[in-house]
């Protein structure tokens, strides 16, 4: 006597398809979430790395202020080796040092770093006026930060001075606040205090 073999019913097939679809949707959702999280993590890592690199460049360059002999030592007023402004839309530091063995300060020795508020980028300049209050009216400026990727929301320079009978020592606190241009919730801040290389006489 032959046994009858029954196949799957329509209901069983539909239930298995439903369960398979739910499982597939969960796997796809997990994959997409993983990719999105990974992408955000990579972008934030680049944001952090870029800001740290810019801060390192600023720190090492400003630390050289006053280097190069008596002509480059800090004086007062327009002869200051380091001058800063951080108010309103003007955030700038001006400094000079002898980078080309010249016997006196030339235009090429006068440098600056500033925040361009309209483009939200940090810029480096040469041939600048020695007073920070004239930072936005002089010099040749190039971007240090990539405005297509990073939005600089704040750049501050805070001077502090310690004087004695022999010399005056100047230091500058640098603060940067930034965020991703494409995602304002991804933010990174860094600050550092830079001691100017040479004491004022």
Where along the chain do its domains lie?
45-195
Tell whether the model's pLDDT for residue 124 goes beyond 90.
yes
Q: Are 174 and 59 in contact (CB under 8 A)?
A: yes
Tell whether the model's pLDDT for residue 44 goes beyond 80.
yes
Sheet containing strand 150-163, strands side by side: 150-163, 168-180, 187-195
Tell whether the model's pLDDT for residue 66 goes beyond 90.
no
Residue of 82, 39, 58 lying closest to 152 (CA atoms): 58
Tell me how far CA of residue 106 lies from CA of 14, 101, 127, 131, 144, in angstroms: 83, 11, 8, 15, 23
Distance CA 130, CA 123 (A): 16
Mean pLDDT value of segment 139-160: 93
Q: pTM (2 decimals)?
A: 0.76
Tell whether the model's pLDDT for residue 34 goes beyond 90.
no
Q: Of 16-25, 36-45, 121-130, 172-181, give the lowest mean pLDDT range.
A: 36-45
Q: How many CA atoms lie within 13 A of 117 on its CB side?
A: 9
Mean pLDDT value of segment 56-71: 82
Return the ∠ at Cα 110 (arms to 158 and 85), rounded to 5°.
Answer: 25
Contacts of 135 (CB under 8 A, 6+ apart): 85, 90, 92, 94, 112, 114, 125, 128, 129
What three-state secondary structure class fits 129?
A: coil
- pLDDT of res. 4: 59
């Amino acid at each position: 006597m032959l046994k009858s073999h029954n196949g799957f019913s329509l209901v069983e097939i539909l239930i298995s398809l439903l369960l398979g679809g739910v499982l597939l949707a969960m796997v796809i959702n997990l994959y997409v979430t993983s990719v999105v999280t990974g992408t955000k993590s990579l972008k934030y890592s680049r944001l952090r790395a870029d800001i740290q690199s810019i801060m390192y460049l600023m720190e090492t360059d400003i630390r050289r202020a006053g280097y190069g002999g008596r002509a480059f030592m800090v004086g007062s007023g327009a002869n200051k080796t380091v001058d800063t402004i951080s108010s309103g839309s003007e955030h700038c530091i001006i400094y000079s040092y002898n980078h080309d063995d010249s016997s006196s300060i030339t235009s090429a020795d006068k440098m600056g770093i500033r925040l361009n508020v309209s483009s939200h980028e940090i810029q480096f300049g040469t041939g600048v006026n020695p007073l920070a209050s004239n930072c936005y009216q002089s010099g040749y400026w190039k971007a240090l930060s990539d405005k297509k990727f990073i939005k600089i929301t704040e750049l501050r320079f805070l001077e502090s001075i310690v004087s004695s009978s022999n010399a005056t020592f100047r230091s500058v606190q640098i603060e940067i606040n930034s965020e991703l241009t494409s995602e304002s919730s991804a933010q990174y801040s860094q600050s550092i205090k830079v001691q100017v290389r040479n004491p004022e006489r």
